[in-house]
Amino acid sequence: MRWLRFAVLVLVATILQTSLVGTISVRDVRPDLLVILLVFFAVSIDPRDAIVASFAIGFAADLSNPVRDLMGPQMISFGVFGALLSDVHSIISIQRMTHQAITIFIMGALTALLSYLLTFFRAEPAAAHLVAQLLWQPLYSAVIGPLLFFPFAWWMRIDRKGRKRRRPGLR
């Protein structure tokens, strides 16, 4: 795993999530780039690296969360569901764009639900837009997510089968 490229990609996605994604929002529903990254890494890299990447992406999601005084709900939900998806991917192949879209939708809804529950138990009632977070945001992310897998794979130097590309002559 190329961790420097990973860190740059997560940093750029976090900055885009907090600033520019609002320009493509539809009725105040924004795609979640970090959930798309979660699914991409969970199905594209080694399971041990995918678990570390899932927690790191969840940490970035907590940093970009509008509820600034809470740290951890999204990191826990991204880590748990990223690890689960990585294990499921070792049994079921998620290579087609439709399967990727369905997976992004399911993971977006599950991570939002678990984050909401963890926030609810820890502090005052969290999100007023629960339906948007559980349905519309994952749906929007699922529509654009598979289209972003190709640039992500190019940046991370991962081929379509989930293995790193090797340079000729290097082993």
| Domain locations along the chain | 3-156
As a residue count, the chain comes to 171
The pLDDT assigned to 28 comes to 82
CA atoms within 13 A of residue 119's CA, in its CB half-sphere = 24
Distant-in-sequence contacts of 140-143, Cβ < 8 A, 24+ apart:
140/26, 140/29, 140/30, 140/31, 141/31, 141/32, 141/33, 141/35, 141/36, 141/104, 141/105, 141/108, 142/101, 142/102, 142/104, 142/105, 142/108, 143/31, 143/101
Which residues face 29 on adjacent strands?
Answer: 26
The pLDDT assigned to 20 comes to 82
pTM listed for this prediction: 0.86
The pLDDT assigned to 66 comes to 67
The pLDDT assigned to 120 comes to 79
The conformation of residue 68, written as its DSSP 8-state character, comes to T
Angle in degrees, CA 136, 146, 158, rounded to 5: 140
The pLDDT assigned to 162 comes to 44
Distance, C-alpha 61 to centroid of its chain: 9
The pLDDT assigned to 163 comes to 46
Q: Which two tokens stand for residue 121?
A: 């138990």
The pLDDT assigned to 68 comes to 57
Question: Which candidate, 149, 161, 119, 114, places its Cα nearest to that of 134?
Answer: 114
In CATH, what class is 3-156? Answer: mainly alpha
Distance, C-alpha 127 to centroid of its chain: 19
Which segments in the chain show pLDDT lower than 50?
A: 162-166, 171
